[in-house]
Every structure is written in C-alpha cells, then in structure tokens.
Amino acid sequence: MIKIILWVMGIAVTIVLTLGLRGQLSKNRPWHLFWDMKYQPKYTSQSLSPFFTDNRSMRLPVERTLAYTVPGYYSDAGMLDLPDDDVLQEDDVYYRGIAGPDIEIEIDVPKIGEGGKQILGSDKKPIMEKKKEMGKNWIQNIPRQAIQRSRPILSVSDKKLTESELELESWKGLIKRGQERFLIHCAVCHGESGYGGQGEIAHGIVGRYGMIGIANYHEDRIRNMRDGEIFNTITNGKNTMSSYAHQIKVQDRWAIVAYIRVLQLSQNAPVSWVPAEEREKWKKEILKKSPKE
C-alpha cells in the first residue's frame, strides 16, 4: 500500500515540477549549463548606466555634429567634399514643399447664424463662407529639383538630346516612377483610379473592407490643392490617413504627386484638347451607339 502511495506522490511531484511552473514570470535568468558568450558585461540599447551623469547608456551625438552622409558614414567620415543634402534636408521647398513663411489663406467654413447654429441651405447642407487665416505657404508646383533628379542618365553612345527633350524625358521618368509607387502605396485605399470611397462602391480594397472617408482625388478641393500640400499629406498624413514618410523617400513623394496630377487630368481634361478630326470621329461613334439622338 505504502509503495502505491509513494508512486502516486512521486508522479504528482514530477508532474508539478515539470509542468506546474511553466508560464510563470521570473526575473531570474533561465538555467544555462554553458554560458557561452550570451552573458557578458555590455550595454544594450535604452539600458541604464551609472557611469554617465544622465544615466543613459546611449549617448547623443557631440553638439554641433555635422551629418555628412548616411551610407558608409563611418568609413567615409571626413572624406567627402560636401555635406549630403539628403541628410541635412535644409531646403524647405524640396524637402517640405514650403515656399516661405506662413501666409494669409482663405478657407471655407460653415456660416454660423443666431444661437451659434450652422445655417443650412435648401439642400440641408451647411452654407459655407470664406474665412481668412494664416496657413502654410505650400509651393504651387513640383520643385525643379525633383524634375532635375529624375533626368535620365545618358551613356556616351546615346544620341544627343536637346534641353527640351531632356526635360520631357525627366517628366516621363518622374511620372512613371510615381505610377509605380502610387500603385504600391496608395491604390489600396484610394483605388487605382483615385476615386477612393467606402463600402460596396469603394475603389480601393481597404474601403471595401470598412475604412471610411477615403478621399476622392477628383473633387475640386483636391484638384485645386497646391502640389506642396499633397506632398505634405504623404509626409505627415492627414486626419485618418497616416504618414508615409518612412516608406516613401522625398523624391518618390514628388513622383507620386506628379502621378496624382496625371490621374486628375485623365478624368477632367477639356474636350478642346482633343484634335478636331478625332472629335468628329467620336461624334460619329456616339451617334452610332445611340441612334435616337
């Protein structure tokens, strides 16, 4: 009898010892028979150090340190002739889309009547009025530097391109790159067409899966937006749209802005831009399809 009790107790103790302590938190280090090099005196990131007066093990750069370049910084330090613009990012126009100090801008705000209530029009929508306030001085057009940076790299054997041909090629390159980046980063929400939207009629898959309020690029408000402001939306996000500064480089943000302009034009080009003979052909096509008119 005692034997059986001892057996049962032995099994119970073994089960508790092997399984019962799993999942418990402990501040002790796990058992390691051989320590190898896992444990050695060192500072890990964000750890404390009693050595420095601010108690941080991570040190800040020496004051007035000048950033030169990022790739191969350590090996190149001091060997470059010029600081790297992309590290310093001093140029407000190219890196932030800002032309200068804040300016007075006009914005649309709902008209307020007596008792602080919004005045509604006959369509039950609030009547808007213009209000002046200080706002960012966004640049109107994509900066020269973005176009310059997209210049094709020509080999010696290439035929000599004129200045205006080069300009055209630069724009083509910029727009092409913008299309590619747009389809990767933005189309999931705004749709390949840029119509955005939500629910069943959403143009982007995220809208179809429930995200609300995705902007439609083909509204006058966004058509009239300055290039710098769209650039800023990619950099810093806007309301429920998050920032894409980490995923998309400055040059690529300008490329996307260029492509958004192409998308907008594709949905809103004046008929007068179509050559006259083409227009005649269209008319015949349309008449053929709807003979009653």
Distance between CA atoms of residues 75 and 68, nearest Å: 11
From residue 182 to residue 221, the character string flagging contacts with ligand HEC as x (rule: CB under 6 A) and all else as - is ---xx-xxx---------------x----x-xxx------
In terms of CB distance, is 161 or 188 closer to ligand HEC?
188
CA atoms within 13 A on the CB side of 151: 14
Q: Judged by CB under 6 A, does residue 20 bind ligand HEC?
A: no
Distances (CA, A) of 20 to 13, 16, 32, 77, 227: 9, 4, 20, 56, 63
Q: Judged by CB under 6 A, does residue 75 bind ligand HEC?
A: no
Distance between CA atoms of residues 53 and 64, nearest Å: 21
In terms of CB distance, is 174 or 234 closer to ligand HEC?
234
Size of site (CB under 6 A) for ligand HEC: 21
Q: Judged by CB under 6 A, does residue 175 bind ligand HEC?
A: no
Distance between CA atoms of residues 207 and 219, nearest Å: 18
Output the smallest distance, CB 86 to ligand HEC, in A.
19
Spell out the residues 6+ positions from residue 151 whose beta carbon is closer than 8 angstroms to its own: 166, 169, 170, 173
Q: Judged by CB under 6 A, does residue 222 bind ligand HEC?
A: yes
Maximum CA pair distance of the chain? 109
Output the smallest distance, CB 228 to ligand HEC, in A.
12
Enumerate binding residues for ligand HEC (CB under 6 A). Answer: 185-186, 188-190, 206, 211, 213-215, 222, 230, 233-234, 238-241, 244, 248, 256
